[in-house]
Structure 1
Amino acid sequence: MNSVVFEAIKALLAQNKTPTVALTKAMLSEPVPMPMIIAAVSQYKTNPEAFKHMVAEPATVAVEQKSSQLDRIEEKLDKLLALLEAKN
C-alpha cells in the first residue's frame, strides 16, 4: 500500500472516522491513482482489525497535517516570490 494512502487512512482512524474512498482521497497530501485508494479502502473493509494498530494520537496527526499544509503553502509562496522577482 502506498505510504501516503496509509497515512490518510491512519488519520481518518485517529479521528474516529470510517475510511471510505472519498474521505481517504480528501485526506491525501499528494495525487495517488484511484485504484490504489480503492485497494487500500477495500483492504481496510476486509480486515479493519489489522488497521487498529495504525491509529496515531489525534494531536500528532493534526500537527503533522498542519505542518504538511504549511510546507506546501511556503513552497507556493516561494514560487510566487521568485516569479515576482523575475519580472522586476
Structure 2
Amino acid sequence: MITTLIGALLFALVLAGLVYDTARLCTLTARHRPSLARLGGRRAAAVATERRLAHRLLTGRIDAATYRRRMTGLAHRTPHPEGVRHG
C-alpha cells in the first residue's frame, strides 16, 4: 500500500515536471531565445561566419582579396565581454 502511494507520488512529480518544462519551452518567443553565440559559444558563431565567407567566395559573390581580409579580421579579433560592443 505504501509502496504504491510512493510510486504514484513520484509519477505525479515526474509528470508535473514534464508538463512544466514542455510549457516553458513552447512559450519562448524569438526575442527570448539565446543567440547562436550564447548557445554554442563564440566559436560556433565564428565557424558560421567562416562558412558564410567560404560560400560567398565559392559562389563568386566576393573576390579572393575580400575573403582574405575578412578571414584575417575574423582570426585576429579580440573577444569582448558580453554586452560590450567595440567601435
TM-score, normalised to structure 1, is 0.28
Return the index of the structure with the highest Cα Rg. Answer: 2
Instruction: State the TM-score, normalized to the length of structure 2.
Output: 0.29
Greater helix share, 1 or 2? 1
- Relative contact order (alpha carbons < 8 A, sep ≥ 6): 1 or 2 greater? 1
